[in-house]
Amino acid sequence: MTRIDIAVPVFNEERVLETSIDRLRDHLEASFPFEWHIVIADNASTDRTAEIAERLAADDGRVTHLRLDRRGKGLAVRAAWERSSADVVVYTDVDLSTGLTGLLPLVAPLVSGHSDLAIGSRLSSGSSVARAPGREFVSMVYNFLLRIVFAVRFRDAQCGFKAARTDVVQRLLPAVEDDAWFFDAELLLLAEHNGLRVHEVPVDWVDDPDSRVDVRSTALSDLRGIGRMFWRFVRGRGDVDLGGHEREPLVEDFGRQTVTFALIGGVATLVSLAIFLVLRDPIGAVAANVVGFSTTVVGNSWANRRWTFRSRRDTGRWRRRLVTIGIFAVSLIGTSIAVNAVAGSLSSELTVLFVSWFVAAVVRFSLLRTLVRRTS
């Protein structure tokens, strides 16, 4: 029978621990169709938390107390998940701010094998959330940064309600460096970078008025984490050996790739064109083309790698970069020569630019598509 291990990380939670574990256990007994086990992951509590956890474990063999000697929510989740022999591992915050009705939808796609990780999302359209305006704003900004910087598809990295297939996540955990609040985001970033499927579940969520999370220090820590992960991916150190749990890419995805590439290219073209028109008179057509074309090349390449080809793994990244640089250099030289030849006529300049940019885009799409298929 499928077994689910549910970790509840705690630190000095003597006030709510027993009530929360009783609520969780009652819900599991009443409406959870899988074999289950609760792990109270106590990360160095100094109050009566350990005493209460020991009593709960002694009263029910389906509850275990895991005592750690260091603090860190991520450390507690990591320790519980690394020791698990269940099919699926879960963690939920001890305050149970997330409605437990979301638990079965959270684990179902993992049990079926459809997804590798699953997360509760307070930012999904189907979620019902009650929280303070300040926390809502910080959460939205933080998750927006993740989507802009890393082009991730998940919407809520912070919700304390996550699950994973044990065999997959135990491959990821050694690569996760953070043991505090950025643990969740780092785990998800590595999962997407390595091509794993993350399933999101809309949740009912009510803010805990007694939350002791320091929003300011946590936000600063998260920003440092974002910078560290960005630099890690830039250096090509995000790949994880998944031991055969990799998801096979589609054999053919030409239609979606073509449309996405065209949309990204259209936006880049409009930006380059606007820059060209603004700078044409002050600095000349050739220089304006150099500035306009160069301005969009990095963003264009980044967006196509993330969205068009969905290529995140580090394999073959330098080859792709060299191809991009080569196409950029040839295109820039070619368009500059052509624009210089017709300089003085705006209509001729625009015709040359559109034709040359279009040809360069077709060549870039063909070469990059071939490279991505060879290295995926």
Q: Is 60 a catalytic residue?
A: no
Q: How far apart are CA 147 and CA 139, in angstroms?
A: 12
Half-sphere exposure of 52 (CA within 13 A, CB side): 21
Q: How far apart are CA 232 and CA 230, in angstroms?
A: 5
- Rg of the chain, C-alpha, whole Å: 25
Q: How far apart are CA 186 and CA 168, in angstroms?
A: 15
Residues counted in the chain: 376
Cβ atoms of 297 and 328 within 8 Å: the answer is yes
Q: How far apart are CA 215 and CA 200, in angstroms?
A: 24
Q: How far apart are CA 140 and CA 117, in angstroms?
A: 21
Beta strands 128-130 and 204-206, pairing class: parallel
Specify which residues 3 forms β-bridges with: 35
Q: How far apart are CA 273 and CA 265, in angstroms?
A: 12
Q: Which helix or strand (DSSP H or E) is residue 87 part of? A: none
Span between the terminal Cα atoms of the chain, in Å: 35
Cβ atoms of 24 and 6 within 8 Å: the answer is yes
Classified as helix, coil or strand, 51 is helix
Catalytic residue among 178, 179, 184, 222: 184
What region, left, alpha or beta, does residue 210 occupy, with left being phi > 0 and alpha being psi -120 to 50 degrees? alpha
SS3 readout for 132-196? CHHHHHHHHHHHHHHHHHHCCCCCCCCCCEEEEEHHHHHHHHHHCCCCCCCHHHHHHHHHHHCCC
Active site residues: 184
